[in-house]
Structure 1
Amino acid sequence: MARLLDLPDELILFIVNYVQAGNEQTTLPFFEWGDAYRSAIEQNPSQRVKDLRSLYLVSRRFNNLLKPTFYRNLCVHAPSFRNHPLGQLERTLETDPNLEEHIVSAIVPCKDSILDIYRFFWFPNIQTLTVLRFNDWEPLEFEDDSYVGTSPVTTLKLIGCGAHEEALAAVLSWPAALEVLHYDAEQGEWEGHYGDEPAKSWTCATFVRTLQPHKETLRELTLTRPWLDHEGLGNGPRIDLSNFTALTTLRIYQVFLCGWDDCLEAWKGLPRNLEELEVFYDDTVLTRFDEDEFLQGLVVHKEAHLPRLRTVSINSPEMQWEDPQPSGPWTPPSPLARAFENAGVNLAVWLGATEAPKFEELDIPQLFDPSRTRR
């Protein structure tokens, strides 16, 4: 049997890419994504990453051969007492700036400010960038506006993001054409203010204003928030995405979709070209699915205002105590089921608790990178 070192480069790369792809993993519901990313920067590197690092250090030949694979998808861990991974990476990139060309996706935590990681937005081949703990109150200052609309990032995920409006708008102005956004809103951070200035509460309208540069390119939006400390927080007027003409997939919490407005009119805030809608009820003390009526308004106005809608998925942790199985799929009343069937929309509802994922057993960076999943 030939030794690994004796194999040609093409075969070595094939083997490494196959092993790196791994097996398919369980798909996480979108309301678990924020916690998954928070876990990713805290947990130790996976065995897959450790194996790749070992191969990378075998020889100069392997180092040069595997460098693009090693740097393609980065997960920078949170700093600890002794280790500062972001600083180590920065020093490596300063020593060899050409490494930036290999980075296609990255998961990075802010230490104190977006200033810590803003360079990632302009790596030449970066496509997907996940930023945790971006909580700036003020926008990052540049000499001029020549940087606006120049970042190649097309998929941006802002997890645990409490950045105030101007700071958030500035960062969202950097990508040339954003196609996918996950915004995990840390609403409580907006209550911070200077001196005698009044506190500014987070609202859906404020967020939508910051997103206007991408209303013609954004195809997929996920809008979540960290788990609540207690019920009733962060409620306000519903979101209005009606002018986002390219948006086809929306994953959203019910508190943002309906807010404190008439739930029968929630459809008014949805974009006309929407195809897939996923909704999660994270505050069932404030609003339960079985007390909500947004589905009735949605199906009535589907043909005229949402002609392309084909899938509606709902998940609410409330229990069905009258059912022998309190957690499971919900069967809609016959009139509602017929209305959705006649409208050509597949309706799927899950009520009750779902099994909590064991993040420590998951390879989070791989989980969110379908291109590396072995079929």
Structure 2
Amino acid sequence: MVTMHAYALSCYIFLTELASNKAFDPGIYLNDTFFREAWTSLTDMKKRVAVKAQAARDLVNKYVGTYKEAAGLDKPIEFPCAGQVAMYEAIKMVAAYKTNISLWFGDSLRCAINLLLDVKQATANLSAAMSVAGHSKQEIQQACYERYRKPAGLVKVALGSRIPDLSSFSPEVCLAVQPLVRGVHMSYALEYEFDLESIYYDIRTEPIKHFRAFCCLSRIIAEAGGKSVQCQPMRTSWVPSNIHIDKWILVQHLLDAQVSNKGDMGHEATKERWQQLLDMDNKIFKNQGGRRFCGAIETDGVSLSVIKKTKAAEESKRGRQKVKAPERPKHKCKCKRSKQRHNKDFQHIDQIP
């Protein structure tokens, strides 16, 4: 229930702030810090002041009162281990936003181009006219492709660039796709460049950087009469989801015990504590191929999943070795002429009659 409201609260915050502040960039808040603040703001958890979370907390506090009133949350939701659970749920929420953008942004952009160019209606009219004239099905398909679908495909390629080159298209086409250029492409920072000079590639590698553009794209599609695009993932089901319970949640909240020394949270000590709630002799807790029970489970209240790690991974700081990712080459031009051309191109599009 808390996670469902956390998704709805985040959506409400982003949409309201975008509507009232055109300079607002929601992408900078797509991190576990913001979603952790949104999640815990709905519970009775007593928060500690953290400097790095101050900006996220201020934004959440600005809207959480209005949301609670609209959602009928008269009092905070009681959740005994809200702090620890919020950390795991926030990571899942960030992953959900990234996945949603990388999967649907490209298709939504192509859909918007088809809507603005009215490809569906134009091909239907041409097909009906040629059918009455007695043309074959193959001739009709070829004519529709050459006259409408092929130009639309070229527009999709052109709008995949950071600075779209529409000089080879008719003024009617340029005017039709002007909302995308002025809305989607102008939502990025002036110095931002797409990896491999393609928006369709960049949304896969840097999805968070495209969140603001995706929100704008969703609005353009709605205004064009297309099907609504869910630019933000929402959880609408009341079905319980898996809750991550680690050894600290077990000790502090389920067993209501105190740990004075972190050395008391070793592998064997953790197994003894879990033995008070679970049958640790069950085969699901046995070692598998060098992996052993790491002291954490996931459950929805009915089923249970056991998390296992290798000994080396379990003893590492975060459960995995950090490997520095290789830097991808950026195609940037720092000369003033490039920026002048950037402004000139957008001015040219704005001045189309």
Higher helix share: 2
Which TM-score bucket, shorter chain as reference? under 0.3
| TM score, norm. by length of structure 2 | 0.24
Q: Which has the higher contact order (CA 8 A, sep 6+)?
A: 2
